[in-house]
A and B are shown apart, each in its own frame.
Chain A
Amino acid sequence: MNDMTVMDKTMEKQKTKIAANGVNVHYGESHAIKDVNVEIEDKTVTAFIGPSGCGKSTFLRCLNRMNDTIDICKVTGDILLDGEDIYDKRVDPVQLRAKVGMVFQKPNPFPKSIYDNVAYGPRIHGLAKNKAELDEIVEKSLRRGAIWDEVKDRLDKPGTGLSGGQQQRLCIARAVATEPEVLLMDEPCSALDPIATAQVEELIDELRSRYSVVIVTHSMQQAARVSQKTAFFHLGNLVEFGATGQIFTNPEDPRTESYITGRIG
């Protein structure tokens, strides 16, 4: 995929899916995220880039409240999903996570069959009334995960027996099976080889037509290839947020420029 073609893609204004206002995250004593404001658009790929430990993954995990599982983690500020505060007391994180799916850094299929991996989400959310509907959801999700043709003959084989790239696409299929509105991806290609990475990136581009995708990545080339918007994090601050083309060609902040040109990071 050519870098320029993605950047040149039409950038019609999408409505805001997630709006974060003044988000601060504390891990015990340490201040991991400092007053971050960001607006994530619907049907857009937004990339979070920045050096290790800059807080981009932490911020991503705030968006579906995965940080709730860490006792010492405290989140303040507002994160609005379609205008509703996801940290409101009335919000059940389980319901939120059905809407905001997540794909992790390391492929983590359940040690169950490929079919059960994908069917698990729809099952617990009651998305299918019968076996036929479930079969349909599984096939649709695996097709969206661009892995259907490779696994259709062995749906009953364990998901852990697939190659790394296939496992990650299976995890993406599993995430889209619950029909989320937002898909969070935490360095989804860091454990994959270049060919598998290319496949996943292609997939991300396709997913954009249905979901709002937020991807954390270490690779600036990847951010440039797949995203329309890029946010640069540094030491817990959101340094710069804007159109990907602009960030990579004409950054406003000197820190962004230093990172992109390889002087810090």
Chain B
Amino acid sequence: MSENTQNTSRYGGSLLKQSDRTRRRNAAEKRFRAYGIGAIGIGLLMLFVLVFNIVSKGTGAFQQTFVTLDVELLESKLDKNGNRDLADIKKVTTFGYSPIIRKAVETKVASLGIETNLKTKAMAGILSKDAAAQLREYVVANPDQIGETVEFRFLAQSRVDGYLKGRVIRANIANDKNISPEQLDLVDALVASGVIVKTFNLDFILGADASDARPEAAGIGVSMMGSLFMMLVVLALALPIGVAASIYLEEFAPQNWLTDIIEVNISNLAAVPSIVFGILGLAVFINYMHLPTSAPLVGGLVLTLMTLPTIIISTRASLKSVPPSIRAAALGVGASKMQSVFHHVLPLAAPGILTGTIIGLAQALGETAPLLLIGMVGFIASNPPSGIAEGLLSPNSAMPAQIFEWAKRADPAFYERAWGGIIILLIFLVTMNTVAVILRRRFERRW
């Protein structure tokens, strides 16, 4: 038949030879694969650059330079009356401790036989301004130690720390009022004799922020507590409200224009820039309801508004993914609507809800913009909160806000701490997201 012969000729005879068309199609496929691999490569490269940058710039923040000194707690300076009355001891301000510290430095340098033409005040200048406060705190806590000689590990000032980390170099300090070449000579000598050491600094992770003049004393711990309390508020509010709203919308609400409008608006809320929630929080929670400024409670409320749509959307998605046959089965044996939801649908949707909640929380944890407007960004000098009420109501910062605050300050020592803070924040976020992925994998069901 003529049609048959036409058919064989159209595909060019032998199967062992590729036709032009096949070759072109194969080439297109190969090109597309190359594009894909290229795209992934670029993504990975960027990730690598990011991680490398963060780690290389931030690890320094976890180490700090310390100076170990034996301090004689002179009774004549600290407790003139000699009766160890705490009220009297507290009257001595940090200025009163400076001479003791100077003497301790001088003694140390002399005992090691280090030659220097620095004055005592300049010698003590290698210590942090925090040293006097540290000493006073110790004396107030242990008044019985007055008169004894106690070994202390003081923070070195940030230039000395920078010198040991390679951030401060001799060539650049000509105009630096905070450090002189002679002081660096002294530092070199003290490092050689083991008085000055650079070690891991737990206070960076657990401590509070410090003022501009004392970057070496700044830590992210208190703002971490601020973030923690905000997350507690978000979890306590957004999870129950979000899940209740989703269950109602997904399982009970009639399908009409009102629920359609609600649905559209929830999706829209998820796309609203977070700063808008911040200004809303300022207007409603602070100006109208008179809640305290800078309080994690307000921050938590604002972040709840922000997280709610995320939780509602993911909860509804996981409720939707429970097959209708399960609901039918429950109704078929005479379960009420609510029993079918709470006994069968919700347990099956729980992993998805949990995953969505964790991702929502992670999002809220990294949010900075809304906190700007409610006063949680800035130098907020506070001690770690002593209780839940204080944690919620006393002014505090949050981790991303603290990072922003540090990045803003002039001293490069703060810049290093900002990167260190980013590492801690990322560890939290990666952990949370990993938990979410593990939960999803673990409880994933196939129907």
Contact = CB atoms under 8 A, between A and B. Distances in A.
Interface residues of A, number: 26
A207 B187 CA distance: 95
B333 A97 contact: yes
B334 A121 contact: yes
B88 to A, nearest CB: 71
Contacts of A125: 334
A171 B344 CA distance: 15
A69 B328 CA distance: 9
A122 to B, nearest CB: 9
Interface string A74-111: 00000000000000000000110110011110101111
A106 B326 CA distance: 11
Given A71-B255, A104-B325, A120-B343, A111 B332 contact: no
B45 interface: no
B28 to A, nearest CB: 42
Contact of A111 (B327, B333, B339, B348): B348
Query: Chain B interface secondary structure, helix, strand, loop or mixed?
Result: helix
Contact of A101 (B332, B336, B445): B332
Query: For chain B, which range describes its interface: under 10, 10 to 19, 20 to 34, or 35 or more residues?
Result: 20 to 34
Contacts of A178: 333-334
B250 to A, nearest CB: 13
Contact of A94 (B328, B335, B445): B335
A124 B334 CA distance: 8
B213 interface: no
Given A120-B343, A124-B339, A108 B333 contact: no
Contacts of A124: 333-335, 339, 343
Interface in B389-418: none
A91 B326 CA distance: 24
Interface in B332-366: 332-336, 339, 343-344, 348
A175 interface: yes
A109 B329 contact: yes
A108 B326 contact: yes
B325 A66 contact: no
A174 interface: yes
A64 interface: yes
Contacts of B343: 120, 124
Given A108-B325, A111-B348, A124-B339, A95 B334 contact: yes
B219 to A, nearest CB: 48
A104 B329 CA distance: 8
B325 A120 contact: no
B29 to A, nearest CB: 39
A265 B326 CA distance: 31
B345 to A, nearest CB: 11
Contact of B254 (A64, A71, A109): A71
B9 to A, nearest CB: 45
B445 A111 contact: yes
Contacts of B325: 104, 106, 108
A71 B334 CA distance: 19
A120 B73 CA distance: 75
B339 to A, nearest CB: 6
Contact of B333 (A69, A95, A106, A121): A121
B331 interface: yes
9 contacts: A71-B254, A94-B336, A101-B332, A101-B333, A103-B332, A104-B325, A111-B326, A120-B333, A175-B332
Interface of A: 64, 66, 69, 71, 94-95, 97-98, 101-104, 106, 108-111, 120-121, 124-125, 171, 174-175, 177-178
What 4 pairs across the A-B complex have the smallest Cβ distances? A98-B334, A121-B333, A102-B332, A108-B325
